Amino acid sequence: MSNKKVFLKENVFDAALVRIRWLFDEFPNVVVGVSGGKDSTVVLHLALLVAREKGRLPLRVMWLDQEAEWLSTVDTVREIMLRPEVIPMWLQFPFKLFNATSFKDHWLQCWNPNDEANWIRPKEPNSYKENRYGTDRFGELFERIFAVEFPNQKSCYIAGVRAEESPRRASGLTGGHTYGGVTWGKELNKRREHYTFYPIYDWSYTDVWKAIHDNGWPYNKVYDKMYQYGVPVNDMRVSNLHHETAVRALFILQELEPENYNKIVARVEGIDMAGKMGWDDFYCPHHLPPMFSSWKEYRDYLLENLIDNPDWKEGFRKKFKEMEELLGWIFGDKLMRLHITSILCNDWEHVKLNNVPVPREHWEEYKRRRNERKAAKQ
């Protein structure tokens, strides 16, 4: 499959509306996921337009609140959930999230009733407060939520995921059938006819901001603060603040939302260390420490001495070996530095490494090597 873009005559705004209209025609239950981010903001407002057009208001809107959030994000979501055309599914029940800032305390038990006195903020009056879904893991919750809330009903979840950020993601969103002839989604549970769809998958971030500006849609104002601070576009994340891909935001959180920062420090082990180390220094150092002869030697030393869980350590070794075979020819020492960053974030689930963008010019050769590696294992 080629990784070349195919440009059509219709614009992405109109194409997304066509997709969402089709989803409303196909599924009696449509739930829009919001995160407080720009992409889900656009998806929400497009879905509201279609729901109003088709007489399907109020619209179900879901947010899995991870407790350690930007207050600006909480304010943004609160405005959404209080809209009369919205049925709020604000989820504030107990579940656990990985903590990338500590090698001792690996998890935050979000909304643990035993820690209520230490919650970063109180729960909302209109939120879901009981976990009835049979799992406490973030990645498993979405399928279980739909299984419980819509057990025998055809349903879909609409989210703001775009392919622009990664050729790997682009391939995943264009290379396989999901439902009804479209590729821009994934199965939650095929037997139950539960699916997730990404109707703005082909948008650029400039398309996102143009839609917000042209339509006067309200958005998370933390983006303005990040822009003023000089944060690169690709690093403007509004997700929870101790996740592997978001800890850099702690450096600016302490300046932009100091009271919130202090509450998160008191709640989550390792936050203050990560925040005080700064935007870059929490990750791989800029210069190889003089006692090591190579970045690979430094990486292996850190793996041996920082990761104490033997299963996690072995998982890192296997992942590093796989990436060296598939990506070493592209990145060289940069790959070792990426591995070091994943160790320092204790990213044993390899979230950061699985999101490493393969340069577009190397994508076809990368796929060839990946397919050869799969064939050799069979």
Per-residue pLDDT of 132-155, as tens digits, reads 999 999 889 999 999 999 998 999
Distance between CA atoms of residues 133 and 286, nearest Å? 44
At residue 241, the pLDDT reads: 74
Percent of the residues in the chain that have a pLDDT greater than 70, as a whole number: 89
Q: What CATH number is associated with residue 17?
A: 3.40.50
Q: Mind listing the pLDDT tens digit for each residue in 177-229?
A: 899 999 999 999 999 999 999 999 999 999 999 999 999 999 999 999 999 98
Q: What's the mean pLDDT when you consider all of the chain? A: 89
- Among 168, 184, 205, give the residue marking a domain's end: 205
Distance between CA atoms of residues 353 and 125, nearest Å? 38
| Residue position matching structure tokens 């279980």 | 144
119 in Cβ contact with 93 (< 8 Å): no
Per the structure block, which two tokens stand in for 182? 């479209």
Distance between CA atoms of residues 106 and 348, nearest Å? 10
**Lowest model confidence (mean pLDDT) among 10-24, 28-42, 337-351:** 337-351
pLDDT-derived band at 353 (thresholds 50, 70, 90) equals confident
Sign of CA dihedral 88, 92, 95, 96: positive
Residue 237 vs residue 5, higher pLDDT: 237
Q: What is the CA radius of gyration of the chain?
A: 21
Phi, psi of 199 (to 5 degrees): -70, -10
Arithmetic mean of pLDDT, 344-360 = 81
At residue 286, the pLDDT reads: 83
At residue 282, the pLDDT reads: 56
- Among 140, 174, 205, give the residue marking a domain's end: 205
At residue 274, the pLDDT reads: 63
The verdict on 59 and 160 lying in the same domain is yes
The verdict on 300 and 201 lying in the same domain is no
Flag whether 311 is in a domain: yes
Domain encompassing residue 162: 12-205
Flag whether 244 is in a domain: no
**Lowest model confidence (mean pLDDT) among 108-117, 152-161, 235-244:** 235-244
**Helices assigned H by DSSP within the chain:** 12-26, 38-53, 71-81, 138-149, 167-174, 205-215, 222-229, 250-256, 258-267, 271-277, 295-306, 310-331, 333-344, 351-354, 363-377
Q: Please state, in angstroms and as integers, the Cα–Cα distance from residue 17 to each residue in 21, 72, 211, 321, following that order.
A: 6, 28, 12, 43
Q: Is the pLDDT of residue 100 over 90?
A: no
Distance between CA atoms of residues 77 and 41, nearest Å? 10
Residue 230 vs residue 146, higher pLDDT: 146
> Quick one: which of 81, 77, 39, 72 has its CA closest to 260?
72
**How many domains are contained in the chain?**
2
Flag whether 250 is in a domain: no
Q: Is the pLDDT of residue 127 over 50?
A: yes
Residue 7 vs residue 58, higher pLDDT: 58
Arithmetic mean of pLDDT, 249-262 = 87
Flag whether 256 is in a domain: no
Arithmetic mean of pLDDT, 326-338 = 92
At residue 144, the pLDDT reads: 97
Residue 153 vs residue 375, higher pLDDT: 153
Distance between CA atoms of residues 268 and 318, nearest Å? 30
| Residue position matching structure tokens 């994934």 | 186
Torsion of CA 281, 295, 315, 65, to 10 degrees: 20
Residue 300 vs residue 265, higher pLDDT: 300
Flag whether 20 is in a domain: yes
Flag whether 262 is in a domain: no
Neighbours of 7 (CB within 10 A): 7
At residue 367, the pLDDT reads: 86
Q: Is the pLDDT of residue 2 over 60?
A: no
Arithmetic mean of pLDDT, 41-62 = 98
The verdict on 183 and 308 lying in the same domain is no
Residue 272 vs residue 306, higher pLDDT: 306
- Among 205, 220, 248, give the residue marking a domain's end: 205
At residue 167, the pLDDT reads: 55
The DSSP-derived string for 175-243 is SS--BTTB-SEEEEETTTTEEEE-TTTT--HHHHHHHHHHHT----THHHHHHHHT--GGG---S-TTS
pLDDT-derived band at 171 (thresholds 50, 70, 90) equals low
The verdict on 181 and 313 lying in the same domain is no
Give the three-class secondary structure for 6.
coil
Flag whether 126 is in a domain: yes
> Quick one: which of 15, 35, 6, 26 has its CA closest to 219?
35
Distance between CA atoms of residues 312 and 346, nearest Å? 9
* This prediction's pTM: 0.81
Q: Is the pLDDT of residue 1 over 60?
A: no
Estimate to the nearest angstrom the gap between the alpha carbon of 184 and the chain centroid.
17
The verdict on 178 and 300 lying in the same domain is no
The verdict on 301 and 193 lying in the same domain is no
Flag whether 271 is in a domain: no
In the chain, the amino acid numbered 155 is: S
At residue 99, the pLDDT reads: 76
Peptide bond into 232 cis (omega under 30): no
